[in-house]
Amino acid sequence: MRVNKRHDVDKAYRVQESGQRIRLIDENHQKPECVLISLCSVDPSWDQREVIVKQGQDKELAITCTINLGRDPFGVVRIFRQVKIDGKVTETVIAENEEVKEPYASTGRYSVDYSQDPSTDNNIAVLTIHDIRGEDAGKYGCLSIDDDEYVAWVQVEVEVPVSDVYMISITDATEIQAAEGATLHLEEGKAKGVGCVVTVDGGLEPPKVVLTLDGEDRTDLFTPLIDSKRLKDNDNEPEKYYTEVKYTYVTVVPSSELNQKNLTCIASSYNFPSRHASVYIDVKYKPVITCPQYVIYAPKGEGVSLKCVLHSNPGAMVTWSYGADKVHATEVDPGNANSRMSIKESPFTEDGTNIELLIDKVSSKHFTNFYLTATNDLGTTEVSLSLKKASGSTPQPKYNPGNPPSNTVGNPQQNPKADSVHSNTSPASLTLGHLLFLVHVCALLTVWSQYL
């Protein structure tokens, strides 16, 4: 194992003489520190550079540190663990020689087999960690406390499963854990949200998280936050740390695509089985109205249909009105019992509710603006559509009372195929064509007879 300087101190050494080092003079203090080979320690080393173990599958880990203390009977080998979280390094002593220190000793999971090899004068410390857990991950150092400037390192990575996953409801920056399968309400105009929290005890890699809406991956809607935290239950236990991954969706204008769908958070770590949590999302928002056309053309005396699509949760009260005074649009036209308006609504689906205003017979007063208004507990939405008189020379799609309305009522100028679809050939035009053809034939016969 390569040995690193523990501190950046400018000192002079004569190294590598029969595997030992003779420390001569400290250049800063000009004081001899070690002059006999037999009393100088040799660089420490681990038997491995990096170790990867799995929590729950690998029951124990044994790593060996070898160091020559120069036959010093009072020499001490120290083993310690270093963990870096959020830029802060924590270093705790695990053992000195065979003595395991607190709080590691009280766990019963750490032991050291310490011995000296008479043939090499090497001191050997075998650290064994039982019942491997994520909190055991980190860098393990080995050194002589009389020569703590040089330390050998071994990196221990512990692959751990996801320890917990749950959904949260967020209101005014307050997070509340949601029960599995619960319904969470988001409301337009209020800073509410939903999220998923995943934790992994120890380990070096954050878990993988996927969020789905009714099975479709919509992780892109959520903002991730990865945080490593420290935890110490009491002074008799080593400091633990864990990784928390949080995905949140907080807004005052929640997307309607979340409405009435199952939100599932799926978390996985390494090749361990994944874990998941789910809630049902109910988004409350004021009505949203969209219309395929906002300018409709119709001839006088014919029927017409004005169409829009409504999205609303909770449901909305719908009214149609028209004209400057916004007259209620379901009344009978005075003096004309055949001119009647009615409203048609389709059943609600995830695509919305189709709202149609059917006018049996268009009169002059109908060539004006029509207003569709929808109101629920969160507010009112209104859209305006303009009904204009179509040119009498251009055929128009019609709505015939008692028959289904046509799918599209549009400006004929926007439909280049209208003339070809509705072309008209009168009997008079056919007779004139026949006469012209006969005159042409007769002229040919006259010219031909002159040559006979």
For 355-391, what is each residue's pLDDT tens digit? 999 998 888 889 999 999 999 998 999 999 999 998 7
pLDDT tens, 427-439? 444 444 555 566 5
Task: Please state which of the ranges 10-19, 128-137, 368-377 shows the lowest mean pLDDT.
Answer: 10-19
According to the model, what pLDDT value does residue 36 have? 43
- Confirm or reject CATH 2.60.40.10 for domain 164-285, answering yes or no: yes
Task: Find the mean pLDDT for residues 333-360.
Answer: 77
C-alpha Rg value of the chain to the nearest Å: 43
Q: What is the C-alpha to C-alpha distance for residues 308 and 352, in angstroms, rounded to an integer?
A: 10
Residue 233's pLDDT is 52
User: Can you give the residue ranges of every domain in the chain?
Assistant: 3-157, 164-285, 291-415
User: Would you place residue 224 in the very low, low, confident or very high pLDDT band (cuts 50, 70, 90)?
Assistant: very high
Q: For residue 330, give every residue at least 6 positions away whose Cβ sits within 8 Å of its Cβ, in sequence order, or none.
A: 320, 341, 342, 343
Parallel/antiparallel/unpaired status of strands 60-68 and 122-130: antiparallel
Q: For residues 373-397, b (16+ Cβ closer than 10 Å) or e, as one string?
A: bbbbebeebebebebeebeeeebbb
The CATH homologous superfamily for domain 291-415 is Immunoglobulins (2.60.40.10)
Mean pLDDT is lowest, of 250-254, 338-342, 373-377, for: 338-342
Q: Supply the pLDDT for residue 25.
A: 34
On the CB side of 385, CA atoms within 13 Å amount to: 26
Phi, psi at 221, each rounded to 5°: -80, -15
Which whole number is the average pLDDT over 92-98?
92
DSSP β-bridge partners for residue 266 = 210, 276
Class of the CATH domain delimited by 3-157: mainly beta
* Token digits of residue 365: 């007063």
**For residue 327, what pLDDT band results from cuts at 50, 70 and 90?**
confident
pLDDT for the residue numbered 57: 84
pLDDT tier, 62 (very low <50, low <70, confident <90, very high otherwise): very high
* pLDDT higher than threshold 70 for residue 442: no
Largest CA distance in the chain: 147
Same CATH topology for 3-157 and 164-285? Answer: yes
The Cα 52–Cα 44 span in angstroms is 21
Mean pLDDT of 111-134: 88
Q: What percent of the chain has pLDDT over 90?
A: 38
pLDDT value of position 388: 95
Task: Name the token pair of 416.
Answer: 């280049």
Residue bearing the bigger pLDDT, 394 or 16: 394
Q: Confidence band (pLDDT; 50, 70, 90) for 134? A: confident
Predicted confidence (pLDDT) at residue 401 exceeds the cutoff of 90:
no
- Quote the pTM value: 0.60
